[in-house]
């Protein structure tokens, strides 16, 4: 297993666990502590995959780790990281769709013009990052700010 892949896995663990210590120095220090890989590494669950995708998308858009942490809190409050109901249908509540509870009435023209389908969890996260980058926390503040906007 390459050192780059191990770095990625370590970053994934950091993201999933929610620690705020994702610095290059921290990763390098932790890499020295990792024993050589042996056996099977478990597959990530949906929520872990969503968080890693959110981190990657946040960084691709030029945002910071702090922005990622805030977006992660918002999504936790909005949907508890759930995109689908038990029957497999997409969670839609009062016109708010999926993981980031994207409001169809307010944003459908924009996400459609961007070629995104917010019923797809990864497009939902992409659009959430776009909203955050262009509007900050405003789209979520009124509805879930009491949950994630704590001192």
Rounded CA separation 120/97 (Å): 10
* pLDDT tens for each residue of 47-88: 999 999 999 999 999 999 999 999 999 999 999 999 999 999
pLDDT band (50, 70, 90) for residue 30: low
Rounded CA separation 110/136 (Å): 16
User: How many Cα neighbours within 13 Å face the side chain of 132?
Assistant: 26
pTM summary value: 0.74
**Runs of H (alpha helix) within 22-120:** 24-33, 46-60, 65-79, 104-113
Rounded CA separation 58/108 (Å): 21
């Amino acid at each position: 297993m390459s050192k780059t892949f191990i770095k990625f896995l370590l970053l994934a663990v950091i993201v999933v666990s929610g620690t705020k210590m994702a610095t290059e120095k921290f990763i390098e220090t932790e890499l020295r502590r990792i024993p050589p890989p042996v056996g099977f590494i478990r597959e990530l669950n949906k929520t872990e995959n969503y968080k890693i995708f959110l981190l990657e998308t946040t960084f691709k858009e030029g945002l910071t780790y702090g922005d990622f942490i805030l977006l992660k809190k918002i999504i936790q409050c909005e949907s508890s990281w759930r995109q689908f109901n038990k029957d497999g249908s997409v969670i839609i509540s009062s016109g708010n769709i999926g993981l980031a509870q994207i409001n169809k009435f307010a944003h459908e023209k924009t996400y459609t013009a961007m070629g995104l389908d917010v019923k797809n969890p990864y497009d939902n996260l992409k659009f959430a990052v776009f909203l955050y980058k262009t509007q900050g926390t405003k789209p979520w503040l009124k509805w879930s700010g009491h949950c994630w906007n704590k001192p």
